[in-house]
Structure 1
């Protein structure tokens, strides 16, 4: 039983949708946002509360003759935002009349931008409202149907069709699966566990299995094949293949260790390879993530220790196939940052600055909410 299926059956009308839209109007409203810049005067081991406040008040006086952004760059203790003129990101436009205290220190705050809130018209979000309404109604129906599913599955332990007919859902069949593995719905361990429970093996319906908050399943046994040993002649070749592969893997691991030890001792890689009839693959100028090497080998190469004193770094990388690769890393060249990389780095720096700023912003917001007597100087608006 799926919540999604119940949602499709919910009948909607414009009247119902509009009523739901009005009830949930906050969901369809873009809240008002205010962008602020600040100048921070930290309180710490070197600066007392009084000293920080005095600095803030002095800076407030200086604003009569100085630009806010320039003063922020000059005196703010928030070095991450000082370079941006104290910009913290998206409070009324203008400069707060007095410094505001937070857990970080004292702030001079200037609201530089106000983005008004906006209610999305019903017609523009009708499809979105429809889906939300159907889901909300279906959630109520799903809860009631879940209780009924539990009750009827228990009252009709010998079949599922009666339950399915009463709830308007379909009985589905799976392919055979084992306790350890299955396909389709049987890929879920909860289903396999229910199917192999004593209750189901005895011919009863299972208790409802919750695969997710929107998916309930009752399991019933359709066919059961008991576990049986396969004939030795049937599996002899298969077993021999498995054992042979395991032996070969163990031998390759041991051989790789021996070769690595010889190379680390300073022996020539050409000589060691020739003695063991192995091929040497040489790769130059490998770039992290931009080569055709297997992922495991690529990761091992770029995690390996750098060569020291002209001596190569020798290590082993294991591939998923069981193959062992002995690598002699002779040189590492520091990467050169491309223009795209530089842009990504700058973006990362900005994101870090914004994250730091958001923490301070939350602290300041809490302080502002507590300071009922704070006024906004609307004469100091940004032109």
Structure 2
């Protein structure tokens, strides 16, 4: 049959049909490509900021905030309004970066390949014992998501270009002595004030509220009286520590583990090395001749350290006599490594050695022989590690079993609990916000509130809380989000409305007193009617005055008093009361020397200059922002 199909496909008709099919797929493919959806989050002067760029920046910023603020950020992240502002802030930063990159391109700012290479080689993150290690470099950039070294170099080039431009901008800022004097004079300025406090509490007694007012407030502010969605779950946990505590090891097991992992208990042979490096430059033969001449001088008795300081291209080690500190075998370039470990006596010097970096002369300055710790010395550590590894293996094995049983018997945790000898526990009420461990991990919370648990009332999938802890849950009780009944919150509403009306009444009173006071009227008797008197405070400072923070802040906002105008205002105090405030005199602050003031002012000026620079780039720029959502992919 296949032969018949092959022969039939050779005919003219078959070829025409096949041609139409190919053309159809080609056109469909092109149409699909041309009609692809634009997923970018913004467009800056025709250059797009991709969803992938946003996702990475969003996740990086979220991780920084979580590390800095911990549980507080987890609570904030449950607020949709806060997270919307958070996402917009990430987009703003990306737009600013794009504008700076475009301006750098327009100014032809470049970072040379040699500088990129030098920067990478000198980054401490990529060094082992102070020396660049290529294997560590590749491992660390892969861990950071750069799977090609060229990707990391491009990233570093972009960052260094940005820094070059911004550093040139902010480094040009400076503060002048007269500015520092003005700043310290303002900071140390003192003010003489007087104020009267009107207690809002006294107006509450005469406030009357109708049932209609309470009901209207309740209907207009129902979101304030919601019970959060909550769930209680029954759960079992599987953790490595519990498994490890039940692992029994024989002496043979301990000995076998020690022998199989002897490298962990061996201090490798180490050598302290000094070297002199002569780079190839434009003339490799001349560089070799220079190195051989130095070797002759060393062999003739000249001081190696002094020659290294004077001639070595490795200036960092050269300043220390060429010292590279302690190295182990396999750390350095293979030719360098072979020569260093071929030296037998302390003080011995190698021949001229060629590596990718240039020509070296190597000197052995100290030596540590290999040392192996005996099993008796490290037995406790060996037992702990062996138990942990066996427990980890068992942990993954039991995870599969728990996952299978909780799926095959979805209406109960008993079978899965029996397989791992665990006890079924019950959580407290959980919310989508902050919870106690092990329910403080987003993946656990998501599983607890999932459809399979709440609506289908089945066991959850097994959830890895961490590398050493897993959990399975099922519904115990569920409480949907609901608005509390009016009867339950009417007392709370009444208290709030009474306080609000009392504050409004106090505000009206203090506003009327201010008008009278500014007109020159003696308001002593009027103040007395409300249980208030003028209190005088002299030499009030900006900080540490002992006054309510709002009162002190407003005192330094008011203008200097004059014969023609009273400098006064009303102030809402932090405790809900109100105050009438007058500034009577402004005392010039003392100018004091501050060792760090110049630097602080320069930093403030530099920050202001950078923000002004970015804002100037936005003038005339074509910026299109698109609505962004929280990324679904975690980086």
Fold-level match, TM-score > 0.5? yes
- Structure 2, gaps ≥5 residues long: 1-237, 327-340, 502-548, 562-566, 570-580, 609-635
1:115, CA displacement in angstroms?
0.5
Partner of 1:337: none
User: Taking structure 1 as reference, are residues 287 and 185 closer, same or farther at Cα in structure 2, changes over 3 Å only?
Assistant: farther
Partner of 1:218: 472
Higher normalized helix content (fraction of residues): 2
Query: Which moves more between the two structures, 118-127 or 103-112?
Result: 103-112
1:226, CA displacement in angstroms?
1.5
1:84, CA displacement in angstroms?
1.7
Q: Does 1:88 align with 2:293?
A: no
User: Taking structure 1 as reference, are residues 8 and 240 closer, same or farther at Cα in structure 2, changes over 3 Å only?
Assistant: farther
Partner of 2:206: none
Q: Partners of 1:240 and 1:305 in 2: how far apart?
A: 49
Q: Does 1:70 align with 2:306?
A: yes
Partner of 2:383: 130
1:157, CA displacement in angstroms?
0.8
Partner of 1:99: 352
Q: Partners of 2:352 and 2:494 in 1: how far apart?
A: 83
Q: Does 1:13 align with 2:250?
A: yes
| Matching residue within 404, 426, 437 for 1:173 | 426
Alignment of 1:242-253 (within 5 A): none
1:203, CA displacement in angstroms?
1.2
| Aligned partner of residue 362 in structure 2, secondary structure | strand
Q: Partners of 1:238 and 1:137 in 2: how far apart?
A: 62
User: Taking structure 1 as reference, are residues 84 and 205 closer, same or farther at Cα in structure 2, changes over 3 Å only?
Assistant: same
Alignment of 1:51-66 (within 5 A): 51-63=286-298, 64-66=300-302
Q: Contact 1:35–1:111 at 8 Å: present in 2 too?
A: yes
Q: Does 1:233 align with 2:490?
A: yes
- Give the 4+ runs in structure 1 shifted more than 4 A: 237-241, 274-280, 282-288, 300-304
Q: Partners of 1:117 and 1:239 in 2: how far apart?
A: 76
Alignment of 1:99-178 (within 5 A): 99-178=352-431
Q: Contact 2:401–2:419 at 8 Å: present in 1 too?
A: no
Q: Contact 1:52–1:106 at 8 Å: present in 2 too?
A: yes
**Alignment coverage as a number of residue pairs:** 280
Question: What per-residue deviation string (whole Å, max 9, x for no partner) do you get for residues 271-317 of structure 1?
Answer: xxx7564999x8977788xxxxxxxxxxx997554699xxxx99xxx
User: Taking structure 1 as reference, are residues 143 and 31 closer, same or farther at Cα in structure 2, changes over 3 Å only?
Assistant: same
Partner of 2:435: 182
Q: Contact 1:73–1:82 at 8 Å: present in 2 too?
A: yes
Alignment of 1:306-317 (within 5 A): none
1:156, CA displacement in angstroms?
1.4
Partner of 1:355: none
1:97, CA displacement in angstroms?
3.8
Q: Does 1:209 align with 2:463?
A: yes
Q: Partners of 2:582 and 2:323 in 1: how far apart?
A: 62
Q: Partners of 2:582 and 2:361 in 1: how far apart?
A: 71
1:237, CA displacement in angstroms?
6.6
User: Taking structure 1 as reference, are residues 213 and 86 closer, same or farther at Cα in structure 2, changes over 3 Å only?
Assistant: same
Q: Partners of 2:495 and 2:594 in 1: how far apart?
A: 40
1:16, CA displacement in angstroms?
1.2
| Aligned partner of residue 294 in structure 2, secondary structure | helix
Q: Partners of 1:106 and 1:174 in 2: how far apart?
A: 68
Q: Contact 1:175–1:183 at 8 Å: present in 2 too?
A: no
TM-score where L is the length of structure 2: 0.39
Q: Contact 1:56–1:107 at 8 Å: present in 2 too?
A: yes
User: Taking structure 1 as reference, are residues 52 and 301 closer, same or farther at Cα in structure 2, changes over 3 Å only?
Assistant: closer
Q: Partners of 1:65 and 1:109 in 2: how far apart?
A: 15
Question: Structure with the greater relative contact order (CA < 8 A, sep ≥ 6): 1 or 2?
Answer: 2
Q: Contact 1:211–1:217 at 8 Å: present in 2 too?
A: yes
Partner of 1:198: 451
Question: What per-residue deviation string (whole Å, max 9, x for no partner) do you get for residues 211-257 of structure 1?
Answer: 1121111011111111111245265379879x99xxxxxxx99xx89
1:101, CA displacement in angstroms?
2.2
| Matching residue within 238, 257, 260 for 1:23 | 260
Q: Partners of 2:481 and 2:296 in 1: how far apart?
A: 87
1:177, CA displacement in angstroms?
1.4
- Structure 1, gaps ≥5 residues long: 245-251, 289-299, 315-383
User: Taking structure 1 as reference, are residues 226 and 239 closer, same or farther at Cα in structure 2, changes over 3 Å only?
Assistant: farther
Q: Contact 1:194–1:206 at 8 Å: present in 2 too?
A: yes
| Aligned partner of residue 381 in structure 2, secondary structure | helix
Q: CA RMSD in A?
A: 4.0
Question: What per-residue deviation string (whole Å, max 9, x for no partner) do you get for residues 345-375 of structure 1?
Answer: xxxxxxxxxxxxxxxxxxxxxxxxxxxxxxx
1:162, CA displacement in angstroms?
2.3
Q: Contact 1:174–1:185 at 8 Å: present in 2 too?
A: no
Partner of 1:360: none
Q: Partners of 1:237 and 1:103 in 2: how far apart?
A: 81
1:29, CA displacement in angstroms?
0.6
Question: What per-residue deviation string (whole Å, max 9, x for no partner) do you get for residues 36-93 of structure 1?
Answer: 000111233xx52222111101001111231212222232222222222111111434
| Aligned partner of residue 181 in structure 1, secondary structure | coil
